Amino acid sequence: MSSITLHDKSFRPFIPYERLEAAIDAVAEKINSDYEGCEDVPVLMCTLNGAIMFCAELMKRLRFKCQLSCIKLSSYQGTQSTGTVLTTLGPTCDVKGRRVIICEDIVDTGNTIIALQEMLQHQGAAQVRICTMLLKPEVYDKDVPLDYVAMEVPNAFIVGFGLDYNELGRNLKDIYVLE
């Protein structure tokens, strides 16, 4: 892994794909344990665009029936959170009376997951659990517990494995941090 440039910023290697895979394996085992033998079909709610790579990898490891749904929310502009969460798509299925596992790429301020959780509860979801690939514990100060966290990271701007800087870098299999 070597440093990369996206737009006007340079990023150095931070988390190699092999560590991401191990973290996804571990979080998938926790989810499988919680949903083992379930008779219903939970909804795996992928938050686009950032969580698409994590969600795809996670789904391959789940051993119970589940339905994939997508939603697109936006709260970032450049490298900063705007503090405002906008819904730009979805959700793509009815969640009324269903168990939902939100599949998020990264949780920092928590504004997005709080808004999404409230929206799904308002739409009648029977249960909403939150699964995130990455958590910035220094920044997250909400009272809502996160059910499944694959990895914790420091409060730094990162790209790769679905995370972007102004729509570039999502396709990188490793994660990079802003220099």
Catalytic positions are: 108
Q: What is the rounded CA–CA span in Å between residue 92 and residue 45? A: 9
Helices and strands, number each (H, E), in the chain = 3, 10
Here the tokens at position 29 are 């085992």
**Cα 97 to Cα 130: distance, rounded to the nearest angstrom:** 17
Residue 30 parent element (H or E): helix 17-35
Residues 6+ apart with CB under 8 A from 1: 13, 16, 174, 176
Helix 52-61 vs helix 17-35: crossing angle, to nearest 10: 50
